[in-house]
Amino acid sequence: MELPSHLDAVRQSYDAVAADYARTVEGPAVALDPLSRAVLGAFAELVTSAGAGPAADVGCGPGKVTAYLSGLGVPVFGVDLSPRMVELARAAHPELRFDVGPMSALAAGDGELGGVLAFYSTHHLPPEELPAVYGEFLRALAPGGHLLLVTRVGDEGHQHRRYGYGGDSAPFDSYRLPEDRIAELLERAGFTIEARTLQAPEEGAKRPVAGFLARKPATAATT
């Protein structure tokens, strides 16, 4: 499918840095931090206990977190905008499914998914596009299905970077919203927020990380 110019730029950038990203951010020596393991474990338990359908890991990159969820017993597949990222994910985890595509148009029917994971993957979207993307997550989730969204937060910040992981020439735009603004947008989309976490910045990082565990109500209408 044809992508808007800003999403096409994101795709090209991640294609360019995919190998360095896989090695430095999701390499074997890079462990998930304890809080990430805790929230992913809670999400996995909710999805598997409900048995409402598979989970989609949107913006999955090279598939490390997709594989982690699979190891927790979650029927899961990955989706990423970057064909190169998906190529690396398929090579590293051939037992799992990985699709190329945007999170704004998931290859899932209405109410087909038991869970949606957006793990550090929505920050490249301009804030005005988030309502539609959150609505797409809601559409694809089964009633009672869960969304886990983890992202860096800030004060309506917009950052443009010219170089990506490993020093490759790759422009990146990222946006940091306040956590209360993200919560508001999720609720407006139709989600019920069941839990929130706020993690202090890692050493050398400038922005805290917020996590949102949200549920699609049993009577929610799709948007």
How does pLDDT run across 131-145, given as a tens digit for each residue?
A: 999 999 999 999 999
Domain enclosing residue 147, as ranges: 5-175+184-215
Q: Specify if 140 maps to a domain.
A: yes
Residue 220, in any domain of the structure: no
Strand pairing of 209-215 and 169-176?
Answer: unpaired
Residue 86 placed within a domain: yes
Assigned domain for 222 exists: no
> Domain for residue 143, yes or no?
yes
Report yes or no on 115 lying in a domain: yes
CA pseudo-torsion sign 108, 109, 114, 120: positive
- The CATH number linked to 49 is 3.40.50.150
In which residue ranges of the chain is pLDDT below 50?
220-223
pTM beyond 0.95: the answer is no
Check residue 161 and give its pLDDT.
67
Please provide the DSSP assignment of the chain as one string. Answer: ----HHHHHHHHHHHHHHHHHHHHTSSTT-PPPHHHHHHHHHHHHHHHHHT---EEEET-TTSHHHHHHHHTT--EEEEES-HHHHHHHHHH-TTSEEEE--TTS-S--TT-EEEEEEES-STTS-GGGHHHHHHHHHHHEEEEEEEEEEEE--SSEEEEEEE-GGG-EEEEEEEE--HHHHHHHHHHHTPEEEEEEEEPPPTT--S-EEEEEEE--TTPPP-
* Residue showing tokens 């020596």: 29
**152 falls within a domain:** yes
**Residue showing tokens 């730029």:** 9
pLDDT of residue 223: 47
Domain count, the chain: 1
Residue 157, Cβ density class (10 Å: 0-12 exposed, 13-18 middle, ≥19 buried): middle
Residue 64 lies in a domain: yes
